[in-house]
Amino acid sequence: MAGTLTACGGAGSEDVTLKLVAADYGDSADNSSQKYWDKLAAAYEKDHEGVKIDVDVYSWNDVDAKVKTMVDEGHAPDMAQIGAYADYAAAGKLYPVGDLLDVPTQADYLSQLADAGKVDSTQYGMPFASSTRLLFYNKKLFKDAGITPPTTWDELEADAKALKADGVKYPYALPLGREEAQAETMIWMLSGGDGYTDDVGSYTIDSKQNVATFDWLKNDLVGKGLTGPTAPGELNRATAFAAFAKGEVGMLNGHPTLMRMAAKQGVDYGTVPLPGPDGQARSTMGVADWMMAFKQNGHREQVGDFLNYVYSEKNVLEFSREYNLLPVTNSASEAMSGAEEDKKLWPFLEGLTNSEIYPVGKTSWASVSADIKDQIGTAVAGNTSAGAVLGRIQNQAAAAEAAE
């Protein structure tokens, strides 16, 4: 019941400045997230005398490290909107969500995202923005090659062969470079019927299904020269996306941001659900970024009141539409699914309902993700064994998990 107390609006009872550090979702100064937050803060302050919201926005390259430095130096912000929360929760530095938000706001989160925000069954991470993945394909290249979008792995291989024969630089772009290798890896593991963890949350990186998936990638795509001139372990997502926007890629896994990039450069693209061995993959990868509130400054009621405002349907929709992201609340998702202006996001929105999220509630995930980035490219390269690489990462993950 503690969360319901914040709904009474006691935030104006004393003068206070709340510090928020947030990530930048814009791709230029014109659409920087700083503009979004400044507008939202001004609207909130207008109706909440005595409360000031001070927001600093940093690039994704810097924001996590910036918050870590502030916390390590004893100057934690009141709130941080960054990529991970579990380490801070495990260290006892965060307010539980139930101590901050009113009941309707808590209940409005999409259930799988709220669950991903929990450590030891208590929610500390508030999902802030989400996205899912679909298979993007270049309609012109597919038409020129006389092929249709794949629904199975065999069809994907056949399409890639036809694209290669037609001179396409990257028939299928497989970015297993350090930038976001953990994402492409999870997409393919889900496509093959497994993932990073089992039903009880233990790592299953070298499961039979995952090894079979990477054997197929190694032998049937990479080994047959269907992934382009750059070794997958050296191909970053940003490079693959840029190549798609130039018309050099036949197909690749992508999120909504790629729609804007492709449209800007006149690439006519389509999207389809991810294929699996025998048909559409049972689930796709979902990604969520996180809001958290630090206890250090003691502004629980004021922080809670502001966050109830942040997560209103209007504000969640406005942010999602500005940056081609998916809403993290039921109310905003329902509004988006019925709005014609959001039609291009509907396929991604549909995938969110059965998506699976990184195991972000595990404090070991940060080190496991780093190990995947470092090593997974070798699982599809040269004379290495995919099973041996996955086994090595699994052993490191099990050790990290035991140390949690």
Find tokens 């969640």 and name the residue.
316
Q: What is the pLDDT along the chain (404 residues), one digit of tens a residue?
A: 233 233 333 434 469 999 999 999 987 788 899 999 999 999 999 999 999 999 999 998 899 999 999 999 999 999 999 988 999 999 999 999 999 999 999 999 999 999 999 998 999 999 999 999 999 999 999 999 999 999 999 999 999 999 999 999 999 999 999 888 999 999 999 999 999 999 888 999 999 999 999 999 999 999 999 999 999 999 999 999 999 999 999 999 999 989 989 999 999 999 999 999 999 998 899 999 999 999 999 999 999 999 999 999 999 999 999 999 999 999 999 999 999 999 999 999 998 888 999 999 899 998 999 999 999 999 999 889 999 999 999 999 999 999 87
pLDDT of 13 reads 46
Which domains occur in the chain, in start order? 2-131+287-357 (3.40.190.10), 134-283+364-402 (3.40.190.10)
* Inter-residue contact 224 to 161 (CB < 8 Å): yes
Residue 194: CB atoms within 10 A of its CB come to 20
* Inter-residue contact 89 to 99 (CB < 8 Å): no
pLDDT of 2 reads 33
Q: Where are the alpha helices (DSSP H) in 94-177?
A: 103-108, 111-116, 139-145, 153-165
> How does DSSP assign 62-97, residue by residue?
THHHHHHHHHHTT---SEEEES--HHHHHTT-B--G
Indicate the DSSP class of residue 304. H
pLDDT of 6 reads 31
For residue 114, give the nearest of 85, 139, 92 by alpha carbon: 85
Q: Cα dihedral sign for 193, 150, 131, 317?
A: negative
User: If residue 250 lies in a helix (H) or strand (E), which one and from where to where?
Assistant: strand 249-254
The CA distance from 122 to 27, in Å, is 35
Q: Is 331 left (phi over 0), alpha (psi -120 to 50) or beta?
A: alpha
* Inter-residue contact 259 to 134 (CB < 8 Å): no
The CA distance from 190 to 194, in Å, is 5
